[in-house]
């Protein structure tokens, strides 16, 4: 499997490059960064701190995608439209882990999935997706009478809050309860002077230091507390999950898939 990495000079891009280099079933075919970057035309292995790969960093999407079987994209939302258009043009399967997408951008993904196979996940960690499935099952058996709070923590540079993973957890819980998350989510209690409403899902975000990613879900009744917690200690977990998704996606029919499909939760 030949893999092109978009955003190869970012924190996640470097982690993906390392994962591909270390894997047995994948090889790098292209590496993209933004125009004007200091690492343009440098071997992407040097950028990632591994052995030379023979793949030079480029800002040309056509060059980066040439010969790729699957693209792995962890760039920013601003780059999503052009990256998606290029994957459609060259008919290359796409694994996208970009968070903070707008409703319109999610619609673009769905439209593109009519032409190419896509796995989209706001968190590619296998552990996080297992935690999401456990949260869904907890919501089924505990019910809406149990208060639910989601707490997440990330490094100081993360710009979106709550995190995409926190929203993923909230959406899974709300859906299991037959509710729309937008109708029951509470993101800020600072200006509230009322008791908690039944069925609310509260969110709290922490931004500090170099925290890779921590997520906790708390279910509480008057007499019991159930907690689920996931902690990522190294960014490589997201890269390994993305590579697993890429391997699963290769050769799949067109469509929009998620990590639950990759992990077999939907079968």
Q: CA-to-CA distance for 40 and 9, rounded, in angstroms?
A: 10
Active-site pick, 37, 89, 106, 154: 154
Annotated catalytic residue 158: yes
Active-site pick, 89, 155, 158, 175: 158
Rg (CA), the chain: 19
Q: CA-to-CA distance for 10 and 208, rounded, in angstroms?
A: 19
Q: How many helices (H) and strands (E) does the chain have?
A: 10, 11
Annotated catalytic residue 154: yes
Phi, psi of 102 (to 5 degrees): -80, 170
Helices (H), the chain: 11-22, 44-48, 61-65, 80-90, 103-112, 126-142, 164-176, 181-184, 236-249, 259-263
Residues noted as catalytic = 154, 158
């Amino acid at each position: 499997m030949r893999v092109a990495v978009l955003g190869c000079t970012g924190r996640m891009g470097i982690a993906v490059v390392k994962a591909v280099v270390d894997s047995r079933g994948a090889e790098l075919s292209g590496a993209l960064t933004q125009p004007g970057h200091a690492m343009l035309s440098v071997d992407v292995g040097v950028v990632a701190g591994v052995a030379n790969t023979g793949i030079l960093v480029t800002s040309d999407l056509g060059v980066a995608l040439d010969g790729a079987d699957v693209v792995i994209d962890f760039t920013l939302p601003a780059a999503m439209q052009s990256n998606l258009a290029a994957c459609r043009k060259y008919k290359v399967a796409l694994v996208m882990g970009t968070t903070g997408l707008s409703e319109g951008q999610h619609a673009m993904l769905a439209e593109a999935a009519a032409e190419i196979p896509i796995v989209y996940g706001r968190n590619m960690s296998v552990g996080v997706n297992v935690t999401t499935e456990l949260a869904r099952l907890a919501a089924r058996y505990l019910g809406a009478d149990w208060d639910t709070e989601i707490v997440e923590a990330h490094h100081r540079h993360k710009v979106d809050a709550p995190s995409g993973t926190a929203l993923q957890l909230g959406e899974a819980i709300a859906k299991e309860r037959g509710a729309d998350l937008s109708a029951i989510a509470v993101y800020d209690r600072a200006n509230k002077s009322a008791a908690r409403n039944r069925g609310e899902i509260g969110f709290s975000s922490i931004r500090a230091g170099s925290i890779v990613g921590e997520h906790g879900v708390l279910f509480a009744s008057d007499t019991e507390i159930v907690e689920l917690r996931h902690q990522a200690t190294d960014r490589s977990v997201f890269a390994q999950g993305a590579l697993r998704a890429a391997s699963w996606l290769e050769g799949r029919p067109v469509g929009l898939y998620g990590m639950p499909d990759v992990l077999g939760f939907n079968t």
